[in-house]
Structure 1
Amino acid sequence: MDETLTMLKDLTDAKGIPGNEKEVREVFERYISPLADEMKMDNLGSSIAKKIGKEDGPKIMIAGHLDEVGFMVSRIDDKGFIYFQTVGGWWNQVMLAQRVTIMGSKGDVTGVIGSKPPHVLSADARKKPYEIKDMFIDIGASSREEALEFGVKPGDSVVPYFEFTPLKNEKLLLAKAWDNRIGLAIAIEVLRQLKDQEHPNVVYGVGTIQEEVGLRGAKTATHTIQPDIGFGVDVGIAGDTPGISDNEADSKLGKGPQIVLYDASMVSHKGLRDFVVKTAEENDIPYQFATIAGGGTDSGSIHLTGNGVPSLSITIATRYIHSHAGILHRDDFENAVKLIVEVIRKMDSDTVKSLVLA
């Protein structure tokens, strides 16, 4: 496994739901801190790596979020079964019988999401999606006391379990938490490629917290940085699996990073968007346009900070997001990095001023 794949494995295998991103932050900082001139953390826990090209140059923020969708223990019944609260958006049909890890006080505890077996359900009930409120986690405890003895208690984080796996087509990578460890990887790799390059900016590679529950860490991190330009780097919807029409999503794996025109959190800044598209075309970097009717990225918070920050979301088409496992294409990751690096190399103070007026 090469260095890039090792980094991606370390990032995706790490466990971190909104409000408990420490493990992921430690992995992120292990990779990005050697590439930065300065590291700091805001008071909520977002990690900020600063890389200076020109001390008084424009401040460019590249934000991926540390957290992944998961669950939180809400109560333990007398028989030792765990009930939970979803943390982030889940579709109940992808949850049943899936393995999870509870981050308990005495170490990780393995469990599986359980429900009534279909054999005891009525014919009508079997036709309906099983409701999340009726699901539970089985950790093999025989009582509430035994579950507590295992180190499990209300408030503990529950994380989907899945191991990073390259598929037979080695460009296709299967893992949990691509949303949004791929954004962290983009921020890391951009700083790596800028390490020995001259550029007219101050670049911030940021791992934000609590994106999945309201783009929260991006608010505080952006207030801390006060950037001139913001990029939210995240996953996007892939439309290349059976049953999805082009009207719903037309992006395909391996066809380039997505330039998001619109989502529920932001209309992309036209001047910045046009500049990024022009840069991609000048450097023969493939790209795709995308619109997302529901959901948003950290750009939704970044662009509203202070007196406004011209912002754009650049995303990686990913299959099966907000589930235990997703698939994306390595070329899309590498081309997103290449595109952002080329943009940074061109983004001087005059360019930023012209973009704001575009």
Structure 2
Amino acid sequence: MSKPLDETLVMLKDLTDAKGIPGNEREVREVVKKYISPYADEITQDNLGSLIAKKVGKADGPKIMVAGHLDEVGFMVTQITEKGFIKFQTVGGWWSQVMLAQRVTVMTRKGDITGIIGSKPPHILSPEARKKPAEIKDMFIDIGASSKAEAMEWGVLPGDSIVPYFEFTIMNNEKMLLAKAWDNRIGCAIAIDVLKNLKGVEHPNTVFGVATVQEEVGLRGAKTATAHIQPDIGFAVDVGIAGDTPGISEKESMSKMGEGPQIVLYDASIVAHKGLRDFVVQTAEENNIPFQYESMPGGGTDAGAIHLTANGVPALSITVATRYIHSNAAMLHRDDYENAVKLIVEVIKKLDQDTVNKIIFD
């Protein structure tokens, strides 16, 4: 018999089970809204769809933004063949080798439909074909329809979202959690828990827990949400690369699951603000919160958009080392998530106006 889920695990399951690719994040936004509303003084939404939960500590203090993104990588229906198969466009970054034979959910106007990304049996593949990775442009999704007319009768239309399917799973080591869409429902969970941990606590600022849209296609929601908030300090909370599996070298990633949140020094979207980075590291050390340094030559987080808004916002990415991101299922360690929350809460408690000025101008 499986062990009952505690309150945190129920939230994480609800977040990861929810479906939302870039441009269609409504279902996920409603889940975040449900969990963050009890800890917010005000809930608003920008015109692109990002959710903004405001919690006032000191009304005339600095504005601190903590942003996770709602969207997950997925696909979009582009065409239905005469035989009822679905051709699709990737939405967000995919590697073809993790896609074949994976189960997906097509979100239609008449309800969800199960599909599978088709694959050829090995029995009919030539030795040359077996060595060659399948190209995304040649892939299709099978929903069991016999014709285009039948697929459309079921509600399928071009533009429909297609989401990877995977059930939230607690591993034998109960700290290890396997689910779809950790990228970046874990960031949304961190934003929720930061506000939860600040309930009834004095803090010398106003905190904005933000769930942004369309991060996976260009950090778009972070641009609009940051323009709306005009924060003094910004944090992007996201997943990072776990370097503790076979085949990943220390040069590619030195991070290990369970050894603390990652403080990202550099990625393709941002060079971390040195003053803010040093302040966060000092806070972690003072509170004995484990952390790891990380840098990534490719990819980026919402911090890349946050720091370029208006006349500039000191920003930093704090991430959770995660295995197998941008696939149907990924794995992370609960301790890293909880320590990320603890670190951000301790940082926020210290971010008064003088401290923010020192970070910016020293």
TM-score of the pair, normalised by structure 2: 0.98
* Aligned with 1:123 (options 103, 127, 134): 127
Gaps of 5+ in 1: none
Pick the aligned partner of 1:41 from 27, 41, 45: 45
Whole-angstrom distance in 1 between the partners of 2:184 and 2:94: 15
Query: 1:286 maps to which residue?
Result: 290
Alignment of 1:54-133 (within 5 A): 54-133=58-137
Shift of 1:348: 0.3
The 5 A counterparts of 1:179-328 are: 179-328=183-332
SS in 2 for 1:295: coil
Structure 2 SS opposite 1:340: helix
Which amino acid counterpart does residue 338 of structure 2 have in structure 1?
E
The answer as to whether partners of 1:24 and 1:66 remain within 8 angstroms in 2 is yes
Provide the C-alpha distance between the structure 2 equivalents of 1:183 and 1:102, rounded to a whole number of angstroms.
Answer: 25
SS at match of 1:259: strand
* In 2: Cα distance, 1:325 partner to 1:116 partner: 22
Larger displacement relative to structure 2 (316-325 or 242-251): 242-251
SS in 1 for 2:255: coil
Counterpart of 2:258 in structure 1: which amino acid?
A: G
Name the CA distance, whole Å, in 2 between partners of 1:19 and 1:249: 31
Aligned residue for 1:191, secondary structure, equals: helix
Cα shift at 1:246: 0.7
Q: Which residue of 2 aligns with 1:144?
A: 148
> Deviations along 1:183-234, whole A, 9 cap, x unmatched?
0000000000001100101000000000000000000000000000000000
Q: What displacement does 1:123 show?
A: 1.9
DSSP 3-state at the match of 2:112: strand
Q: How far has the Cα of 1:93 moved from its partner?
A: 0.3
Query: Structure 1 vs Structure 2: percent identity of aligned residues?
Result: 76
Shift of 1:125: 1.7
Does 2:334 correspond to 1:330?
yes
Secondary structure, counterpart of 2:14 in structure 1: helix
In structure 2, what is the Cα distance between the partners aligned to 1:223 and 1:338?
27
In 2, the alpha carbon distance for the partners of 1:165 and 1:285 equals: 27
Per the alignment, residue 28 of structure 2 pairs with 24
The one-letter code matched in structure 2 to 1:96 is L
Any idea what SS the aligned residue of 1:321 has?
Answer: coil
CA contact (8 A) 1:115 1:134 kept: no
Q: Could you give the per-residue CA deviations for residues 91-150 of structure 1, whole angstroms, max 9, x where no partner exists?
A: 000000000000011100000000333333332121011101111000000000000011
Distance in 1 (alpha carbons) for counterparts of 2:21 and 2:296: 23
In 1, the alpha carbon distance for the partners of 2:56 and 2:150 equals 53
Which runs of 5 or more structure 2 residues have no equivalent in the other structure? none
SS of residue matched to 2:76: strand
| RMSD between superposed Cα atoms in Å | 0.6
Aligned-residue offset at 1:244: 1.1
Give distance in 1, aligned partners of 2:152 and 2:296. Answer: 42
State the SS of the aligned residue for 1:151. coil
Residue by residue over 1:73-102, the C-alpha shift from the partner in whole angstroms, topping out at 9 and shown as x without a partner, is 000000000010000000000000000000
**139, 159, 164: which is aligned to 1:155?**
159
TM-score by length of 1: 0.99
User: Which amino acid in structure 1 is aligned with residue 226 of structure 2?
Assistant: T
Give the Å deviation of 1:353. 0.4
Q: Which amino acid is the alignment partner of residue 23 of structure 2? A: G
Q: 2: CA distance between counterparts of 1:217 and 1:264?
A: 18
Aligned pair count reads 358
8 Å CA contact retained: 1:35, 1:195? yes
1:27 CA drift (Å): 0.1
CA distance in 2 between counterparts of 1:209 and 1:248 reads 28
Which residue of 1 is the match for residue 168 of structure 2? 164
Partner Cα separation in structure 1 for residue 144 and residue 296 of structure 2: 41
